[in-house]
Chain A
Amino acid sequence: MKYSVGVDIGGTFTDVVLMDARGAIVAEHKVDTTPAALEACFVEALSRASEKCRPEDIHRILHATTVATNSVLEGKGARTALVVTEGFRDILEIARQRRPSLYDLKAERARPLVPRRLCIEVRERLGSDGSVVTPLQDSELQRIAACVEGTRAESVVIALLFSYLNASHEQKLRDYLSKSFPQKLVIASSDVIPEFREFERTSTAVLVGYLKPIFAAYTKNLSNELVSRGHAAGKLLIMNSAGGVMSPDAARDRPHAIVESGPAAGVIAAATLAEQLGEKNVISFDMGGTTAKASLIESGAYRTTTEYEIGGGVHQSLAVRFTGYPIKAPMIDLTECSAGGGSIASVDDVGVLKVGPRSAGADPGPACYGRGGTEPTVTDANVVLGRINPDYFVGGEARLDRRLARAAIESRIARPLGMTVMEAAAGIIDIVNAHMARILRVVSVARGLDPRDFALIAFGGAGPLHAADLAADLGIPRVIVPEAPGVFSALGLLWADLRADFSSTVRRNVTRDHAEHIQGALGRVEAEAQAWLEREKVPAKRRALARSAEMRYPLQNYEINVPLPAGRVNAAWIARACKAFHAVHQRLYSYCDREEQVQLVNVRVAAVGRTDRPRPRLLDRGGASAQPALKGRRKVHFQEAGSFVDCPVYERNRLRAGNRVAGPALIEQADSTVVVPPSMSAAVDVHGRIVLGLKVKSAPSRKAQWAKA
């Protein structure tokens, strides 16, 4: 039997899942994430999942990790030197000269990844058309090499003005420095991201220099661990932020492209499930221990973006840009907020109840873990409200202490606010739900899309606990809970295609005058993409290239990614491309200008090597009654009821296809709990997924009642 393993390191838990060749889940586990050495939780997760099989039975190990983001936020990257055009020594530190918080006099600037002492100016200059204004002399190469030698840097990044138009100076420096310092890593910005805007390009290239040695060490450690456990090298594949997997070698060259690997895996899982279900429009909702993520799958496809900043706060508004570490790389367009089971609830100086952004993580974790945490969290509220079974958390591996949860909520929230513990706990849930509703709106309503046209796929350990309330709030008609929601992102790893992204700046209006130029750029980038597929040994029949472009009206500064038509660039092609852009602009911003020219800024090509789609297993059929799965009753607080309701509790393992469960009810499973509110009912489909929908016309919600009062 052949197996695949997916290991997904999150902020709180590391999830692992073992899948057999037929696509069935054989084993799933959650272990605590060990932030100080992520290799440790990777190994722990892998051994837990593969207890029952031999190493040679495992043919693929897929992995998502937070190592890149952690290294940046904790300043643990490689010592990096930066070579810039003369006159622009401070390009990285000055950045875009903005700050995140408008009125905060105590604000500090994000620490530059390369301190000024390691920034070196080189005498050279290109013009805005790419022509050479000041040539790069050989004597200058030697002088720069001497400077670089003095820095004792592990990585050297070269980022010169207008190198996206003419890379010759960067290449000359790169070759000379590589030859002079074979032990150092030398990176040219035009090799990383040959795109317009010097700060963003420099920042991205610096991240590559800063992360690559760390990431190389990390993947090497993982490979060594694998080999020492009897695994052949070459089984390991790494997830990137754009939702594809790549070999460790490829990932090492593009460490900036893997920062959001875990969340991307979740979206891939949701997109795959949506395809199986025939659901065209889906919002994926992933709530773990530390963060919640939302993303949109429309007509079967997720969106990608190239605007991202590490440490830039919730990236939902362009207006807070340029306050973190920008990366220009394609990633799945998702929105995050600091809302998870571990999010801490507190009362601020003026008596307002807050939830997050701080998280109790895995250690000490929520108060109910009994590991010394005294601050109440979302998980504590869920325990107090009866929504989480304290004896069946992570499949009973952790026992939760309800009294500690109560005590924490009572002393920190209920007493200061003069509420009962139950009101306080319900308040915590309402507020964390409000945070999450905001990100769900960011990916839907804020883009002019009506959530009523979407289904919600809820996963992550905490997702199914909160999904029904969120769906009701946004008017989403259906909630789908996959078979193993707690490790669903890890499953997404197993379902992902091999993928890498390539781009080039064009900056030409989409007109017949520029058809040849656009065709040329597309051709080059597609050739690059094909070469990559070749290197990754993807069989021809599994290859696919997806072309898109960032386009805008010529005087705008923010592009919209629009898929490009197939075929050669000719008059008809141009008409189709422009029409597609106008339509997207109209939908996003409520207007478009069909008289105006359209400018194509970057062409992008995603190279994809398709993996087999999983064939979901069939669940044994049962009757409509879920009675055989009933394991007890208890009092549970439902947000919509505003009170405790005595309700049945079912064991998900014992549910059969065709079973129906009417709310109010709970469905418990090892890695999560599905809350079925009184207004909804749940049905189990032939593959074991739970689909929640409105039972009857819903009673007015508690909020609506308040509004009337």
Chain B
Amino acid sequence: MGQGLDPVTASVVEHGLLSVTDEMATVVVATAYSPLVRDLYDFTVALCNPRGEMVVQGVGMAIHLGALPSAVESILRKFPGACMQPGDVYIMNDAYAGGMHLPNVILLAPCYASGDLLGYAVTMCHHTDVGGHVPGSVPVNSRDVFGEGLRIAPMRLEHGGERDRTLLSLIETNTRLPRDFFGDLESQVSACRTAEKRLTAIAARYGNATILAAMQGLLERSERMARAEIASLPDGDYSFEEFLDNDGMDGPPQRLFVNLRIRGEELTADFTGTALQVPTAINSPLAYSRSAFYLTVRSIMSQEIPNTAGFFRPLKMVAPEGTLINPAFPGAVGAMGVTGYRLADCIYGALAKAAPHKVRAASEGGTTRYTFGTTVDGKPSILSEALVGAWGGHERHDGIDGVANIAANMANSPVEMVESTYPVMVEEYAYEPDSEGAGRRRGGLGVRRKVRLLAPQGGVLQLRSGRSKQRPWGFAGGEQGTSCRNVLNPGTLQEKALRGLETLHVPGDTVYLHVTPGAGGYGPPHEREPELVARDVLDGKISVKRAREVYRVAVSGNGVLQKAETARLRS
């Protein structure tokens, strides 16, 4: 244990710190106003030590893992901790000051006990709208970051408990949904205040020095554990490439490339060879790319490693500026998700070579985000949903059907909530049968969501989805999953296939269908136990035809396995 704390006190104080972030998350969920935060859980909370190093990141979005440190660093560079005072709150969202895309607004509050700085409480929420030319502020067609909404450099939002009215007023005039924005912001402030109260209480019992020592212990322990994990991987260079469908418009596929260099207890991800940044919004800010790197490596390690900045220390990243994954100012980043999630797939591809037992075949390629912006009774209304896909097959586990991406852990929106809040009607939400990447351990099924956009005057439909062309890869002989589909008015004369990335005006009563990709499979499909194939047929997840042709298993229409025929097919 670090700093001479006995293991028991360290454990007790660590539990205390963990419950601080649990509680921060609870406060955000319980009090936020926007469906994105309160229903979908698109937020993250963390505690940092006085040096700004993250010592606990609470449950939330995996792909936020690496973003908070750079944001905190940039706030502290402008407002050093020594100049802060109790009751201060700082805010920022600028992609070019350590942030992500502009809707991800970060709040930081210093926490004090007996006048001494104990650390910082940090929250990040995806706000539904921060302005820009497309409702929802995640435009796919912006040419630079200026068109994507209000950029907030690190600023002081509250000083000694007093809100900065000028700043609030500026924000108010730049968002389409001030009520949602301030409701969510209030939940962030409340979470930070809660953190300070709890930290103060722990300090009152154990002393500031003990808390700081426990924080240090967490950092050191996670670093040590991470180093041991990396050392257990065979030294070597492991590379992988992936291609994005296009440049965000009609351009050619764009290359993502990583070479993982494992040397002893350090791991370097070198992304040299990745495509240059593009003049659309799919560029991934460095903070987001870094998150993809951290979360993939984190997920193949022991679950016990504390979620701290200490774990990052043996990880190095080479990401040349001016590329898709580290765009130069003022590159647009609104649809960063397309690239960020796929970057995770790419790193998994390389990790699969170093640690094949730990990695799954490719997932669906990232959360689909669609927004529908219109007006109801003269007021802006913006529906923003996260549609998720599936996990790939693993050596010992099937993929998971219809579940949040590994990089995220967002929830879906209840249909009854969506329809009572927005002018839409959800007509279908179910699995897409036969979409799985076949395999001994099959990939998960994708999901269909069909939504009728009712607003009589129509509105702006904005889609951000990946893998329309580049399908999720299989692993160890497993097959690819299906690609993603976006269709307007399916099954009618007006049916129209859409690209994965679109911003378009649609008339009233338009139907939008999204089908997420199925995930990749693991191992050859004809090695899959016939009973498992028959069970999937019985459940209507796989068709009789597909069972026969791809898995070489004969199953009757009512799901009964035909053993003799299967033996013949497989001989």
Contact = CB atoms under 8 A, between A and B. Distances in A.
A556 B427 contact: no
B419 interface: yes
Nearest to A585: B31
A408 to B, nearest CB: 19
A117 B540 contact: yes
B302 A349 contact: yes
B463 to A, nearest CB: 19
B12 A703 contact: yes
Interface in B3-26: 4-9, 11-12, 15-16, 19, 22-23, 25-26
A557 interface: yes
Contacts of A320: 59
Given A94-B412, A104-B299, A319 B58 contact: yes
Given A317-B23, A445-B198, A103 B298 contact: yes
A696 interface: no
B450 A98 contact: no
A555 B180 contact: yes
B8 A107 contact: no
B38 A557 contact: yes
Given A103-B62, A318-B26, A88 B415 contact: yes
Contacts of A70: none
B427 A87 contact: yes
A196 interface: yes
B417 interface: yes
A478 interface: no
Interface centre among A108, A321, A555, A558 (most CB of B within 10 A): A555
Interface stretch (A230-238, A435-443, A607-615): A435-443
A105 interface: yes
A706 B11 CA distance: 13
A91 B402 CA distance: 11
Contact of B31 (A127, A434, A558): A558
B22 to A, nearest CB: 4
Interface in B393-442: 394, 396-397, 400-404, 406, 409-412, 414-417, 419-420, 425-431
A90 B446 CA distance: 12
Interface in A88-132: 88-91, 93-94, 96-99, 101-109, 115-117, 127-128
Contacts of B201: 445
B35 A557 contact: yes
B296 to A, nearest CB: 10
Nearest to A101: B303
A197 B418 CA distance: 10
Given A94-B402, A109-B403, A555-B179, A446 B12 contact: no
A445 B228 CA distance: 37
Interface string A665-709: 000000000000000000000000000000000000001101111
A319 B41 contact: yes
Contact of A322 (B300, B304, B360, B411): B411
Contact of A97 (B32, B224, B410, B539): B410
A108 B400 contact: yes
B539 A115 contact: yes
Given A117-B538, A434-B11, A102 B414 contact: no
Interface residues of A, number: 77
Contacts of B34: 555
B429 A88 contact: yes
A97 B388 contact: yes
B394 A106 contact: yes
Interface string B188-221: 0110011001100100011101100000000001
B38 A430 contact: no
Given A97-B412, A105-B358, A706 B9 contact: yes
Given A438-B19, A441-B19, A162 B416 contact: yes
A553 interface: yes
A317 B22 contact: yes
Interface in A69-88: 87-88
A709 B4 contact: yes
A87 B189 CA distance: 40
Contacts of B396: 106
B447 interface: yes
A556 B412 contact: no
A105 B406 contact: yes
Contacts of B540: 116-117
A380 B472 CA distance: 52
Interface string A170-187: 000000000000000000
Contacts of A352: 7, 11, 304
A199 interface: yes
Contacts of A127: 419, 425
B209 A103 contact: no
A644 interface: no
Interface residues of B, number: 95
Nearest to A473: B205
B206 A703 contact: yes
Interface centre among B303, B450, B559 (most CB of A within 10 A): B303
B25 A319 contact: yes
A91 B190 CA distance: 34
A103 B299 contact: yes
Contacts of B388: 97
A99 B221 contact: no
A556 B409 contact: no
Contacts of A708: 207
Given A94-B429, A553-B183, A558-B38, A196 B416 contact: yes
A116 B396 CA distance: 23
Given A103-B295, A431-B8, A317 B30 contact: no
A103 B303 contact: yes
Contacts of B427: 87
B172 interface: no
B275 interface: no
B560 to A, nearest CB: 12
Contact of A108 (B31, B397, B411, B417): B397
Contact of A198 (B9, B12, B414): B414
A589 B31 contact: yes
B151 interface: no
Interface in A467-494: 473
B27 interface: yes
Contacts of A162: 416, 419
A431 B303 contact: no
A348 interface: yes
B225 interface: yes
A590 interface: yes
A427 B11 CA distance: 10
Contacts of B541: 116
A558 B30 CA distance: 5
A304 interface: no
B411 A96 contact: yes
Interface in A443-458: 445-446
A350 B7 CA distance: 12
Interface of A: 87-91, 93-94, 96-99, 101-109, 115-117, 127-128, 133, 161-162, 164, 196-199, 316-322, 348-350, 352-353, 417, 426-427, 430-431, 434-435, 437-438, 441-442, 445-446, 473, 507, 553, 555-558, 585, 588-591, 593, 703-704, 706-709
Given A434-B15, A589-B190, 5 more contacts: A103-B299, A116-B431, A446-B23, A557-B38, A590-B194
Interface of B: 4-9, 11-12, 15-16, 19, 22-23, 25-27, 29-35, 38-39, 41, 58-60, 62, 179-180, 183, 186, 189-190, 193-194, 197-198, 201, 205-207, 209-210, 221, 224-225, 228, 295, 298-304, 358-360, 388, 394, 396-397, 400-404, 406, 409-412, 414-417, 419-420, 425-431, 447, 450, 538-541, 559
> Which 10 A-B pairs give the minimum distances between C-beta atoms?
A555-B33, A319-B25, A87-B428, A557-B38, A128-B419, A116-B539, A317-B22, A434-B12, A318-B29, A558-B30
10 contacts: A93-B401, A94-B430, A99-B403, A105-B406, A437-B12, A446-B198, A555-B179, A555-B180, A588-B30, A706-B9
